[in-house]
Structure 1
Amino acid sequence: MRLCVCVVLLSFILCASADLSPILERGRFAWDAVGGAWDMLRAYWDMREANYKDADKYFHARGNYDAAQRGPGGAWAAEVISDAREKWQSDTSGRGAEDTRADQEANAWGRNGGDPNRYRPAGLPTKY
């Protein structure tokens, strides 16, 4: 019995002294990615709710900005979601390369810490 307690205590001490930072970093990245995906979805819902002319670039920038503020995982999620959305839209909507380029510019602006209000159209309710 004493041997078992000693082994458990020794294992605990060794584990506690081990470098857990790689595991914690991966967990943090994943957590930030989930939060970033949520930020992107919230920006999309707000864009749909606002239904405001010429506001799409603002919501692109805002979603990317909010996600990237969470850290590398959030920025990664924002980039993956933005790229997939633009690929899908360019393949299905026929909106054209110029619109896709402008959307991606707004995405990158927000993701790199630029103020989303650069793309905010006049008159957009302050709720957004």
Structure 2
Amino acid sequence: MAARTTSRVAIALFYATAGSLHLFVPEPFVSIVPSWVPEPALTVLFTGLAEIAGAAGMVQPWSGTLRILAGWGLAAYALCVWPANVQHMLLDIARPDHGLGLVYHVPRLALQPALMWWPLWSVGVISWPFRNC
């Protein structure tokens, strides 16, 4: 049980920080929003708010149901931002200096499923692969 609680706090810190960056330093995020997404600046604002709301939901003490909904929400969020991460990689690779390069982008994209799994495990929706936590 302590592992899941610690994990929820870590996720909350991660997403609260990311959400704050989306709100207070939006330019890098706006620049990687795929062209088919309408209103990039507004989208980044809403994604920042979603991250902060998910973080708060993960650590609030009143409702296990709300924690589970926050876990599902953050898992869905990680899936929904995957296209922006792909877009970021494509933009970087197209630059003459290759930006952050594949050494950054390939692990980032490969770890996206872990960012979907992590909140679900932390709220107890799934137990794989740690059956006894």
TM-score by length of structure 2 reads: 0.31
Identify, as 1 or 2, the structure richer in helix: 1
